[in-house]
Chain A
Amino acid sequence: MTEADGGGSPAAAVTAPGAPAPEPVADERLANIGLPARLMRRPEVGSLLGALVICAFFWITTDVFGTLDGIANWTDVASTLGIMAVAVALLMIGGEFDLSAGVMTGTTGLLMGLLTTEWGLSMWPAILLTFLFAAGVGFVNGYMVVKTKLPSFIVTLATFFVLQGVNLGVTKAITGTVRVAGLGDVPGYDSASGLFSSTFWAPHNFRISVVWWIAIAALATWVLARTRAGNWIFAVGGDANASRNVGVPVARVKIALFMTTAIAAALVGIMIALRLSSVQAGQGVGEEFTYIIAAVVGGCLLTGGYGSAIGASLGALIVGMAFIGIQFSGWNTDWRFLFLGVILLLAVLVNNLVRHRAEGARR
């Protein structure tokens, strides 16, 4: 070892004589990445591209898709879906699933309906109790997952079936039919529906749920990007043991995420119940997969630790645009699910492709 070699890289020391001297390598973690590459590495880029393509397609091929009335239609479909997709995305980033999220929208709507129409509560106390109930169910979900260490897939599947049975059984036992109706006559309905299910900007009538959706997506994005809780969510989803070792309260974060998802489901359940002034016992069953699909299209990894709230919102937007766009196009609806499936698959593939290209330099 000569003095001159002291500061050189180890690579230089073993270079065979005669070979061109390698460029000095900076620490890869500090490397400057160009703006395009950085943008391409965002989880939501694939869904953004997908959303733009689908939007442009229907905008050009149909007359009303691009009108304000048409936009009000598809943002309506996307909004309640989007609220759930954002909550489910947070949960998925935290490394867990909630298969009971769909049926929870029905359970909470039915609970609110029964509290008001059968047990004489006025709307606002019923809404408060519904949120508390949802938080309780979310807590139970989270607690069971954390304590039993069983996959959340199984635990929440059990919750899903329990709630589905309760929804039908309780509704029929109490009302004698399979739905709770007559919410419109409950005191406080007008103010509650003003907040949760009204429309704005007449005559186009955008749904107020769109505002809720945007606000919730913005809040979730802020939490993920700027707060300690957001760091914890990424950490527990990336590696629960490692994050526990550095002092992240893993159990608390996961339980909180399950509660968030359940509370979001309650919000959506209340919105739908107030909008339709009735709730069917089968409400929300099967929707949980749409939420997960929206989150995955939006760049969430099924393995956790990666994803974004904006991406999930874009995923929901894609589903909403396709749903209404197909209707406007007047295509034979026998093909709707095939079309939806292909759109979703393409969006996920584009997502993957773009990210691999962008990350190519790193490997």
Chain B
Amino acid sequence: MIKFCLNGRWVEEADISPNMTVLRYLRTQQSLTGTKEGCGSGDCGACSILLGEKSEGQWHYKAINGCITFLSQLHGKSVITVDALADGKQLHPAQQAMVDYHGSQCGFCTPGIIMSLAALHQNVEGEPTHHQILDALSGNLCRCTGYRPIIDAAKNMHSYPATGNVEIWQPEELVSKPVEHAGVEVETRTRFRAMKKGQAWVVDDEIQLQELLAEHPDARMVAGATDLALEVTQFHKSINKLVSIGSIPSLKTIDVQDDFITIGSAATYAEIEPTLKTHYPEFAALLDRLGSRQVRNNGTLGGNIGNASPIGDTPPVLIALGAEIELVSKNSHRWLPLDKFFLDYKQTALQSCEYIRAIRIPRLKDNQALKVYKISKRIEDDISAVLAAFVFTIDDNKVTDVRSGFGGMAAIPKAACKLEKALLGQTISESAFINAANELSKDFTPLTDVRASADYRINVAKGLIHKCAVELLNPELVSRIEQVHTSELATSDIINQTSLTGEFYHA
């Protein structure tokens, strides 16, 4: 049995399939049809809801995609849907601003946009910056408006009076608190909290996880579900055994040491972002383009490694950084360099009953520079055609060491060894890097697919190596398209100044 708070009311669910997504649950079991299904794959955001977790006596909310979140992941949490956001007749500031700024046309994406804006309203005091607005809405597609009125609503919603329905946002804890009794069993047959007998479990600590995996080596682990849920919603497969590990505190730790930073595998992108910003700003900048705000709120670094996508986005960066991962089971414990983890397309060195506990990343030295590039058709929420990462060690303007990681160039994320060799010892110059880049065709024979042709992958990767030289030589140059909106290259700092004042013709 699991328990969660839905729009201010605690509910218990037991006899529900492990494949039940939150969106389907809301629409079919709770008759809450305000939340929409636009794609069922976490790409459009029409299903966005708020997920709250309690820390330091307060519930804190973030937007997630209901369509690719399993119901079991809600255990112990609070959910707010668009249906409950207004306080009687008084609309939430996000809602009223969207009405006043003509932010809805067909209205189908609107509930999701409202929830993303409500999260922004909740988490930012006063007027949000343009960057914060784009970030909050990065996972919400609108096909009608062109977004301008929605951006305006986002900018201005802080000036509307807040609603008073506190019971939705800060619900009381349940009087009986089964949540806090780790491992307490409702079902007699197993020792773990199960949503449906022997099919979906929620574990509270690693001991339980290890026991469970030893008993059920075929159980699928899920933290954020931003990838795994697609098997159910897109490929109509059933997952028979599902264990939710997203709430295990020891898997969510972030530990900054002198030489390393160790990140728990179930830490979400959102949770690791501040640390990355301090220590690896280019890595943090990549997160702006990794999935969407909703995906980053639920997705985890461990999940990104475990699913062994040939593209990334984080494994190529971690490989370039020389990261290692900690693999644990009931009877074993080992550290493995990440580049040894990926064996072949979607195949890894993870053994039966093992799970990824943590990722250990060496800290950058003063003479090291990390460069991370993502190439995709669209800036926001797109899967990379090519992901390239480099760590250059530079002494006296010479490359004394270089490590690389590429995604989208082979069946697995991997380093470009011949390229590294050709760059080693070079004095930094455009011509030297352009020459070295020719080695890439020896390192990789990429595929042509829906995202890019093989030729483009090679050509653009060469262009990125050229760009490395330019950037290392001119650190101040604005050299990336995604930086433009904050740079002097923007034609005007007055963004979106269309005004709708005045009634144009009618007397």
Q: Do A and B come from one complex?
A: no
Q: Residues on A close to B: CB < 8 A?
A: none
